[in-house]
Amino acid sequence: MENEKILDVKNLKTSFFTEEGEVKAVDDVSFSVYSGKTLGIVGESGCGKSVASLSIMRLIPTPPGKIKSSEIIYKGKNLLTLSSREMRSIRGNEISMIFQEPMTSLNPVFTIGNQIEETIRLHQHLSRNSTKDKAIEMLKLVGIPAPEKRIKDYPHQLSGGMRQRVMMAMALSCNPQILIADEPTTALDVTIQAQILDLLKNLQKKVGMALILITHDLGIIAETADTVVVMYAGKVVEHAQVKEIFANPKHPYTRGLLNSIPTLNKDPTGKIKKKRLETIPGIVPSLLNLPQGCRFQDRCPYTIDACKQKEPELSEIASQPEGLHLIRCVRDI
Amino acid sequence: MQEALLTIKNLVKTFPIKGGILSKEIASVKAVSDVSLEIARGETLGLVGESGCGKSTLGKLILRLIEPTQGQIFFNGQDITHIKPEELRKLRRNMQIIFQDPYASLNPRMIVEDILMEPLQIHGLGKNKTEKRNRVFKLLDLVGLRRESISRYPHEFSGGQRQRICIARALAVEPDFIVCDEPVSALDVSIQAQIINLMQDLQKELSLTYLFIAHDLKVVEHISNRVAVMYLGKIVELTTSEKVYADPKHPYTKALLSAIPIPDPTYKKERVILRGDVPSPINPPSGCYFHPRCPIAKDNCSKDSPILRELTTPSNSHIASCHYA
């Protein structure tokens, strides 16, 4: 079951039609997800990483949004051509999602038990009692102490980390094949973040699901992902195995991101190096007003004339020991 | 150590919790309990801790944006704990604050010129309109914004640019001391690096003193000279930023450091994963506040409350509150 290609996203294009024009939030993005493995998607705010994941779940509000052309193949079926009813039986059941804000993604007027049971009731035809047992079992799985009592709690009675665990219990209650986690720990403190990431990894090992982890934190990517997709302004700019991307980043944007994190590094003598942070100058271009050619040209230290003429293709770097490594850049740096 | 610009002694802040029909005080939260610190002129003191540990409350207490329950605050040698509002306003020329959320801390109906002009008017800086406007231009140059920005509204800027406006506003009155309350946590990594560099440049240029509050230890370590770690309203460790990373003494500091994800997939480390959540400050645990989550807690930790003590000489270089540090 390990390493089976379970989801194949091909040339995903999602746009939002606004008064000012078409915003191509996701523009020609392709990636594959393997069971038991973690795909990390990194990028800054507005790069399209969340829209890509919402497109897989078909949760893009239409209008103004629209998935223009794509194939999202899950177990031989194209998710984009399924009826709403068929999609509903997959969503939350076989593919489920956890969101960034555990405070706003839970309904404040229902107990957490109620909310977990709803998911189970919708997708699995169990008796009332076994539904409740299942909900308690899920809460135990995600490490909530005294789940029999906690099941009667309302979301406001729980801490942020506990709420995120409840979200995970809900998402995992139907044993999904794919879990999409959209910035699952961004709203949490670092010690709680460590707990949640550890839990996600253990659960993945236990149930063998595929994980799509969306984050802006390269530290989290390094510790959890197997494959990494770096997105910039709606496009994939680099795609490689995690070790390769950190050891041998090829795209100037990936390099810029890696250099702009303050690191806690000691040099061999044990003294701490404090150097000035390298930055990426400027800001992400507006998706309504993209430059001609490469989208990163205005912020890139390596821009040449060729960058301004044609948008570079996502192409493979020849003979890499760590497997497939794609970049979207004309320069070889 | 250099001359202290700011000294706080045994500062305590309790917030009452009201309840019942008559809104009587039924309990209280000790947000900051018995904190003493010194910040030297020109230094950056980092303050880290998880949400709810009282770090922002401490920042606001220092600026007297909220009133302390007990303790004393000295700024430039003057006791400012109980000074009158009028004097306080004058004092605010010397101490400013930058908030976390650049979206919420700028008035959406004011253009940049008005935002930056307001502090100048309040403190009577600049003789006439032209002089004030020149000062505004200088401020914009200082923080790396274009002069055309002067007639724009906050919503026309990105997050990083808004934070630059907030910094410019704080600098308008030429303060000595700035409390930076999570100034970069709402920003993307590449923008975060720009703002951190800007703040460091400004510090050198204008010889500023910062209290830098953040939950991100990497950022704090990078920008600070010394770092204070807070847990449930108390400082548990205080030392230079080199030592806090290379040789942390308090188990909480160790756990915080080990929880940071390292952007290197080949790096394997021993991670201390803390059990449970931060306890409620309404009803803090007995003895050492950290003992229910502490991996090295022994019997006496739940009974005796440890005091902050010196671990090394020369004095004031490394203090921590742990029986076993």
Could you write out the DSSP letters of every residue in A51-92? HHHHHHTT---TTTEEEEEEEEEETTEEGGGS-HHHHHHHBT
* Mean pLDDT to the nearest integer, A284-307: 86
3-state secondary structure of B7: strand
Has residue B267 got a pLDDT over 80?
A: no
CA distance A184 to A38: 14
* Residue B320 φ then ψ, to 5°: -150, 155
How much is the average pLDDT of B251-275? 83
Does residue B96 have a pLDDT over 90?
yes
- The total number of residues written for chain B in this structure: 325
pLDDT on residue B127: 82
Q: Is A283 on the interface with B (CB under 8 A)?
A: yes
pLDDT at B118: 92
Q: Which of B187, B189, B136 is nearest to B160 (CA)?
A: B187
Question: According to the model, what pLDDT value does residue A265 have?
Answer: 57
Q: Which of B188, B222, B273 sits opposite A274 (nearest CB)?
A: B222
| Mean pLDDT taken over chain B | 88
> Could you tell me if B201 lies within 8 Å of chain A, comparing CB atoms?
no
Residue B182 touches partner A, C-beta closer than 8 Å: no
Strand order across the A235-241 sheet:
A95-98, A178-182, A210-215, A38-42, A227-232, A235-241, A325-327, A315-316
DSSP state of B255: H
Best residue in A188, A221, A283 for a mutation probing chain B (most B CBs within 10 Å)? A283
Confidence of residue A2 (pLDDT cuts 50, 70, 90): low
Is the Cβ pair A257, B267 closer than 8 Å? no
- A266 — pLDDT class (breaks 50, 70, 90): low
Number of C-beta neighbours around residue B89 at 10 A? 11
Query: Is B101 an interface residue toward A (CB < 8 Å)?
Result: no
Contacts A192 to B, Cβ<8 Å: 50, 277
Quick check: B107 and B115 in contact, CB under 8 A? Answer: yes
Q: Is B185 exposed, middle or buried (0-12, 13-18, 19+ CB in 10 A)?
A: middle
Q: How far apart are CA A301 and CA A305, in angstroms?
A: 13
Of the candidates B172, B180, B160, the one whose C-alpha atom is nearest the C-alpha of residue B100 is B180
Contact indicator for A7, A71 with CB cutoff of 8 Å: no
Size of the A and B interface in Cβ pairs below 8 Å = 128
Question: Of the ranges A59-63, A99-103, A234-238, B287-291, which one carries the lowest mean pLDDT score?
Answer: A99-103
Q: What pLDDT does residue B107 have? A: 92
Looking at this predicted complex, what is its ipTM?
0.79
Cβ pair A43, A231 in contact under 8 A: yes
Q: Which amino acid is at B238?
A: L
> What pLDDT sits at residue B238?
92
Mark which residues 233-262 of A lie under 8 Å from B by CB.
242-243, 246-247, 256-258, 260-262
Lowest-pLDDT range, A50-54, A234-238, A271-275, B208-212? Answer: A271-275
The total of other beta-carbon atoms located within 10 Å of residue A126's CB is 14
Beta bridge partners of A41: A214, A229
Please determine, for residue B1, whether its predicted confidence score (pLDDT) is greater than 60: no
Quote the CA–CA distance of B25 and B38 in Å, as a whole number: 33
Strands A65-74 and A77-78: antiparallel
Average pLDDT over residues A285-299: 86
User: How much is the average pLDDT of A252-278?
Assistant: 72
Q: Is the pLDDT of residue B100 over 90?
A: no
Burial label for B305, CB within 10 Å (0-12, 13-18, 19+), is middle
Best residue of A276, A277, A300, A322 to probe chain B, by most B CBs closer than 10 Å = A277
Q: What pLDDT does B170 receive?
A: 92
Amino acid at B318: H
Q: Which pTM does this prediction carry?
A: 0.84
CB atoms within 10 A of CB B296: 13
Chain A residue closest in CA terms to B220: A262
Judged by CB atoms closer than 8 Å, whether chains meet at B242 and A256 is answered as no
Give residue A264's pLDDT band: very low, low, confident or very high (50, 70, 90): low
Report d(CA B255, CA A246) in Å as an integer: 25
Tokens 């997800």 locate to A33
Q: How many residues does chain A have?
A: 333
pLDDT of res. A268: 46
pLDDT over 90, % of chain B: 38
Q: Does position A319 have pLDDT exceeding 70, yes or no?
A: no
Q: Are B208 and B199 in contact (CB under 8 A)?
A: no
pLDDT at B116: 93
Model pLDDT, residue B2: 67
Mutate to test the interface with B, among A223, A273, A278 (most CBs of B within 10 A): A223
Measured between CA atoms, the residue of chain B closest to residue A266 is: B246
CA atoms within 13 Å, Cβ hemisphere of B112: 27
At residue A92, does pLDDT exceed 90? no
pLDDT above 70 coverage of chain A, percent: 95
pLDDT in tens, B36-91: 999 999 999 999 988 888 888 999 999 999 999 999 999 988 899 999 989 998 88
Average of pLDDT values for A227-247?
A: 91
Interface test mutation site (partner A, options B188, B217, B280, max chain A beta carbons within 10 A): B188
A109 pLDDT exceeds 90? Answer: yes
Q: Quick check: A267 pLDDT over 60?
A: no
pLDDT at B148 exceeding the cut of 50: yes
pLDDT surpasses 70 at A151: yes
**pLDDT value of position A321:** 61
Query: Mean pLDDT across the stretch A46-71?
Result: 86
B16, pLDDT greater than 90: no
Rounded to whole angstroms, the Cα distance separating A227 from A173 reads: 26
- B-chain residues within 8 Å CB-CB of A263? 218, 262-263
Q: Does A270 touch chain B (CB under 8 A)?
A: yes
Q: Tell me: the pLDDT tens digits for B171-196?
A: 999 999 999 998 888 788 888 888 89
pLDDT, mean of residues B136-163: 89
pLDDT at A1: 46
Pairwise CA distance, residues A80 & A12, whole Å: 11
Residues 145-164 of B with CB under 8 A from A: 158-161
Between the ranges A140-149, A188-197, B41-50, B261-270, where is the mean pLDDT highest? B41-50
